Amino acid sequence: MRYGFVKAAAIAPKIRVADTEHNAQEIIRLMKEAWQDGARIIVFPELCITGYTCEDLFLQELLLKKAKEALIRIVKASEGMDGIFFAGLPLEVKGKLYNVAAAYSDGELLGLVPKTHIPNYGEFYEARHFTKAPEKYTFIDVDQEPEIPFGTNLLFACADMPHLTVAAEICEDLWAPNPPSSFHAMQGANVIVNLSASDEVTGKDAYRRELIRSQSGRLVCGYIYASAGEGESSTDLVFGGHHLICENGTLLKESRRFTNETIYGEIDAERLVGERRRLTAYETEEDTLSYLTIEYSMKEADAPLERFIDKAPFVPDQKEEREKRCEEILTIQAMGLKKRMEHTKSKSAVIGISGGLDSTLALLVASKAADYLGLERSCITAVTMPCFGTTDRTYTNACELTKRLGAHLREVDIKASVSLHFQDIGHDINVHDVTYENSQARERTQVLMDVANQTGGLVVGTGDMSELALGWATYNGDHMSMYGVNASVPKTLVRHLVRYYADTCTDSRLSDILLDILDTPVSPELLPPKDGVISQKTEDLVGPYELHDFYLYYMLRFGFSPDKIYYLAKIAFEGEYDDGTVLKWLKTFYRRFFTQQFKRSCLPDGPKVGTVALSPRGDLRMPSDACASLWLNCLEQIEK
């Protein structure tokens, strides 16, 4: 697939114990079906060629011979099929029997990975039959196939997709204190496959799921787990065919147990590499372990991406998670402000309240901080500063919100002072240009700073991360404060935080005010209204914030290229924006993001609440005069 995506499949054939002919036939059939469905990493369970539950039949020469013959047949059946496939079998090497994962591709046996940790407890007595993997890889002959790599330390690298490297482990290996997959990941593997035969007992599925999910997160990898299912002997155990596909701590797909269901999941190898690029823990230790890298081919296929792409990556989608996350974010913001007020011995927090979303959130945070400090909320001075663009709706909401929260309301009408300033600098008040707009923003900031001096307090910044990304702030105007509580909160999340507060507060009038603020168009209100309503709508000028937040997340969180972000955005916003609109605003995003870095280089302090932030002191160290040509040229190629 394109842009680093690879489709994986986990399959449990309905086997017959010790019937290698039947099992090979089923594996081949299911392998071809999965490949035709677009899967290019296909994983079958542990010992699936013979069945995991053969017990002492594993010591029978005939079974071992037929298992090897079945493997060769399966490998040959993959001719003409690119990608990489894994199937399990017992294999004798130099008089020892090993539980092996065979890796093959396009009619070629690539390597054999033996199981490292052999269980010998409870219902599992594998040590009766199998030997643990040797410490170093070697080469063996398999039937007519000479010099086949044999060992745990094998990496399978895709020659046509540099970001994809696969390694294997088998069942119990993952349950061990130090799984082979940990070493594989440190040596560059970003997709781990696990051929397993895990029986079902009450509650084990939950532990298994969490183990695999957390291992994929710890190793920053894709993890494909295929477990034995129906067809295995039920003498003492029942196997449920519980398959899981995870990526970096996220469960992408899970099978229904007891169904022998084939599952598919699309792993973003490029995303995994980008994530590891940021982590210093992934330093390859060449001298510690000796690994062999084996290449295979996989043609790029322009298959449709079926993976879910969240159009609001900053916002939790489930109600329970949303409430927990929103409360946590509000607490982080409030605790940051609490600490700053304590340290500076501030007697008050001064906020410019406009009746818009950002200042509303800042006021809610300041109220929470005052509660933590044990102070009356009247220590918060909310200053409304009506001017040429202020509407009755936003003015009324600002005043009512302040009163309902118990903060002190102060009104400073700045029309006269701004008009005088226009006279001082010789600006025509009828020319509604950037000077007209920014003079109001800077006057408001001056008022707030002076009120903070009067009250022995500090100015709480209200600007959010989306505005910072686009540079949608007046330099040394609303751009400046003494502590910016919303600095790492994107606009889409600001909206959800305010809605969460509206949904959970016990004051119905306060809730109504918050809901009306949510329904008000986002605007700096710096231009005169038309017929009493807002005439200057931010999203008409710079583009929809939901698009910009999507672009920002994938650009900074994973370092995706512009064309990949465009590709994902088209999928996420299908039916809402046409391709031309997505591309238009993506160009705007990159142009503004690069040209406005100088505003972010001198940001006030503010608390980080998520994995993406723009602070010049930590999360984004970017020169203010960096050139956007590479990124914009990439987007220009899309139109050609």
List residues with catalytic annotation: 46, 115, 171
Distances (CA, A) of 379 to 453, 478, 505, 573: 14, 22, 21, 44
Q: Which has the closest alpha carbon to 264: 463, 542, 489, 7? A: 7
- How far is 220 from 222, CA to CA, in rounded Å? 7
Contact 126, 99 (CB under 8 A): yes
Backbone angles phi, psi at 442, to 5 degrees: -75, -35
Amino acid at 485: V
- How far is 55 from 71, CA to CA, in rounded Å? 20
Q: Which helix (H) or strand (E) holds 473?
A: none
- How far is 436 from 413, CA to CA, in rounded Å? 16
Within a 13 Å sphere around the CA of 499, how many CA atoms are in the beta-carbon half? 14
- How far is 47 from 61, CA to CA, in rounded Å? 16
- How far is 72 from 112, CA to CA, in rounded Å? 13
Contact 504, 322 (CB under 8 A): no
Dmax over CA atoms of the chain, in Å, equals 101
- How far is 15 from 29, CA to CA, in rounded Å? 12
- How far is 536 from 521, CA to CA, in rounded Å? 9
Distances (CA, A) of 392 to 353, 417, 468, 531, 618: 14, 21, 28, 11, 41
- How far is 250 from 263, CA to CA, in rounded Å? 16
> CA torsion angle for 420, 426, 431, 437 (degrees, to 10)?
-60
3-state helix, strand, coil split of the chain in percent (to 5) is: 40, 20, 40
Query: What is the Cα 607 distance to its own chain's centre?
Result: 21
3-state secondary structure of 178: coil
Distances (CA, A) of 271 to 6, 217, 220, 306, 345: 11, 13, 10, 16, 45
Which residues have a Cβ under 8 Å from the Cβ of 202 and sit 6 or more positions away?
A: none
Residues in the chain: 640
- How far is 576 from 554, CA to CA, in rounded Å? 19
DSSP 246-293: EETTEEEEEPPTTTT--EEEEEEHHHHHHHHHT-TT----TTT---EE
Contact 363, 382 (CB under 8 A): yes
Token duo for residue 626: 């960096």
